[in-house]
A and B are shown apart, each in its own frame.
Chain A
Amino acid sequence: MMNLLEESLTWTNFFIFLFWGIVMLLLVLGFVTYAIYFERKVIGWMQLRIGPNRTGPLGLLQSVADVFKLLIKEDTIPRKAERELFILAPIITFIPSFTIIATIPFSDRLFNANLNVGLLFYVALTGLSTIGIILGGWASNNKYALLGGMRSAAQMISYEVPLVISVIGVIMMTGSLNLHAIVDHQAGGFWHWNFIPQILGFIIFVIAGVSELNRTPFDLPEAESELVAGYHVEYSGFRFAFFMLSEYVYVFVIASLTSLIFLGGWHAPFPFLDFIPGLIWFLLKFSLVVFFLFWLRATLPRVRVDQLMGFGWKVLLPLALVNMLLTAIIMTLIS
């Protein structure tokens, strides 16, 4: 793959890229299908329920059935909605979320693109998804949707900033924005992993990441008890599925990034466990983070909009800055 990227674009190369793109898409769709199943099971167990268990063996086909239902549903567009934007919004939300995956390395050999600005690429593209959400909320011509869209805009802007600044510590320690370099820097046992020296950055990253995902306790844009469904209240069928899809793809991305940046990526926690393939370690860490996100959803109530903004600007941002400063001071003292 690496060599192909440097070659000029021919038809053969194009089809190779297309093939791998489709493979990635299927992989992500598979992940989303079973992440939803896993989430429903985990939350079900935490809430004294069984969770899906009727469709297929152990309910494994539940999400498939759900997606199929969404596909064959009538696709309604409100008469007074801004038609073009209404159609465009879910696409704008989904495409960046999927594009980000191209930069994520799953193990030292399994990756799509090894960008030198991988982390920056992520930051730049997540901002685009927000536009889709605001657009969807606004184009629906629905007051609840509008409130949801506005909340989402405010929230994403306030949490993007600490999210970016929290990883600066890691970037300083590594000296690179390249995700491969960041992971390689953490080789040799869990005491080399970034979450120990960068514990503050790690905590900020996780909190801001959950907020980026619009998940409990920061699920204000779609706060069911206040805004009914928030920005996607007027969406149905496959357009709605796109919003949900991009939400889960972001779960995929945030969980991957957390394991790559802070949890050592594909490295084993102890050097003597190196014989186990890196992909397995990555998947383990990844699943752990995903589980953590679902666990939160079953545990916490939702924060209020003004508290959310206050927390983002007054607590997380200064802490992220302090983290950056501390990293700089310690690095100077050591070297």
Chain B
Amino acid sequence: MLRTEELLLNVGPQHPSTHGVFRVIVKLDGEIIREAIPVMGYLHRGTEKLAEDLSYTQIIPYTDRMDYVSAMTNNYVLVHAVEKMMQLEVPERAEFLRLIVMELQRIASHMVWWGTYLLDIGAMSPFLYAFRDREIIIDLFNELCGARLTYNYMRVGGVKWDAPEGWIDKVRKFVPYMRDKLEEYHNLVSGNEIFLSRIKGIGKYDAETAIAYGLSGANLRCTGVDWDIRKTQPYSLYNRFEFDVPVRTGGDCHDRYLLRMEEVKQSLRILEQAVEQFPAEGETMGKVPRVIRPAEGEVYAAIESPRGEIGCYIISRGKQEPFRLKFRRPSFVNLQILPKLLVGETMTNLITILGGIDIVVGEVDA
């Protein structure tokens, strides 16, 4: 007797395209997804709970391990929240260094995304090209703080290490190089007919839905909402530089792709200006009390990470350790729209959509 059955398929946690240990349980009718249930928590390390027993400086390395593709911005959101709470002044040179590393990190992070996204879609070579360019950035970071992935570079009130001699020149040289490569990547990939047909009109949602789900970053800007915390609530030195916030209105994977590529371009613009204005001399550490003990109170600080709004909410009871610390992790928030987008799509589009959201499982699970 013939009968049809729904196929229950476990995608992940061990799967090549779930970007780590993320799992989706999908109910398939043929290749059409009827229901998708994301399961997360395989990489949960309890960062927020651990933070309650750690001093503020000790928390910084834990932030490295949240979004390990973009550790610098995570460093920044924590130190920025504490500085905001204690109203500390950060020396200009330190702030410049932070800004330069954050923008370099944004480029590195988008390059990782670009490479892995194309790999998800089935093109192998871009992955290797992207990692070549990311390698240059990682070498720069290595020179700066001795680590390639988990930097532990920023401190409350400044940065741990000053830029070594010639480092700024290397960054200066990197900007035109990367601009050149970006153009090359556009020529290689962005117009590819197969690629376009894979991502155009896929994973579409409108601005209202995006806001209702609390999306941020490129996932929000692709629906036409002009929201970039670097512009709307400027932190660090971003109001000193000229740059645009790319916005598109399609709301599909193609728009998210183009936005991230454009963001790399804008980051290069910021870098170019930052390198020119970089103060020749100055302190890299502000006047910070030996023991960081913020007064009783609460603070929320948010910045624009490559994946969207990353926020840090701290409740202090006047002790060395935070009473409660909460990270608003953009990967986690952005992921919530996934089950809604997947219904009615094919297995292939699952990968395209999941990749297009740009998650880092370390940050989803924290």
Contact = CB atoms under 8 A, between A and B. Distances in A.
Contacts of B119: 225
B194 A225 contact: no
A96 to B, nearest CB: 27
Interface in A208-250: 216-217, 219, 223-228
Interface string B308-331: 000000000000000000000000
A2 B121 CA distance: 49
B132 A304 contact: no
B58 interface: no
B247 to A, nearest CB: 26
Contact of A304 (B16, B123, B192, B198): B198
A298 interface: yes
B125 A305 contact: no
Contacts of A43: 124-125
Contact of B122 (A147, A216, A228, A306): A216
Given A48-B132, A302-B194, A226 B350 contact: yes
A228 B346 contact: no
A302 B348 CA distance: 10
A303, A304, A305: most-surrounded residue (chain B CB, <10 A): A304
B346 A225 contact: no
A304 B348 contact: yes
B194 A303 contact: yes
B197 interface: yes
Interface in B267-305: none
A200 B225 CA distance: 47
Interface in B89-139: 118-125, 128-129, 132
Interface string A293-305: 0000111111111
Nearest to B118: A301
A83 interface: no
A165 to B, nearest CB: 23
Contacts of B122: 216-217, 219, 223-225, 300-302
Contacts of B129: 47-48
B31 A228 contact: no
B40 interface: no
Nearest to A144: B9
B128 A225 contact: no
A226 B197 CA distance: 17
Contact of B346 (A216, A300, A306): A306
Contact of A225 (B7, B120, B192, B195): B120
B17 A49 contact: no
Contact of B128 (A47, A300, A303): A47
A118 B129 CA distance: 44
Nearest to B197: A307
A228 to B, nearest CB: 6
A205 B257 CA distance: 33
B351 interface: yes
A276 interface: no
A300 B31 contact: no
B194 A299 contact: no
A268 to B, nearest CB: 35
Contacts of A303: 194, 197-198
Nearest to A216: B122
Contacts of B194: 217, 300-303
B361 to A, nearest CB: 16
Nearest to A217: B194
B7, B9, B31: most-surrounded residue (chain A CB, <10 A): B31
A147 B350 CA distance: 15
B16 A298 contact: no
B152 interface: no
Interface in B1-51: 7, 9, 15-17, 31
A302 B352 CA distance: 11
Given A300-B123, A300-B192, A226 B17 contact: yes
A228 B16 CA distance: 6
A314 interface: no
B347 interface: yes
B192 A305 contact: no
B349 interface: yes
A216 B348 CA distance: 15
Given A300-B192, A301-B194, A305-B348, A228 B15 contact: yes
B129, B132, B194, B351: most-surrounded residue (chain A CB, <10 A): B194
Contacts of A227: 347
Interface string A117-149: 000000000000000000000000001100100
Contacts of A305: 31, 346-348
A143 B31 CA distance: 11
A228 B13 CA distance: 12
Interface string A304-330: 111100000000000000000000000
B16 A224 contact: yes
Contacts of B124: 43, 47, 297-298
Given A47-B128, A228-B16, A302-B194, A147 B347 contact: yes
A304 B346 contact: yes
Contacts of A306: 346
A33 to B, nearest CB: 22
A217 B118 CA distance: 13
A203 interface: no
B198 A298 contact: no
Given A225-B351, A301-B194, 12 more contacts: A46-B125, A47-B128, A48-B132, A216-B122, A224-B16, A225-B16, A225-B120, A225-B121, A226-B17, A226-B350, A299-B123, A306-B346
Instruction: Give the 5 A-B residue pairs with the shortest CB-CB distance, closest first.
Output: A302-B122, A301-B123, A225-B17, A47-B128, A301-B121
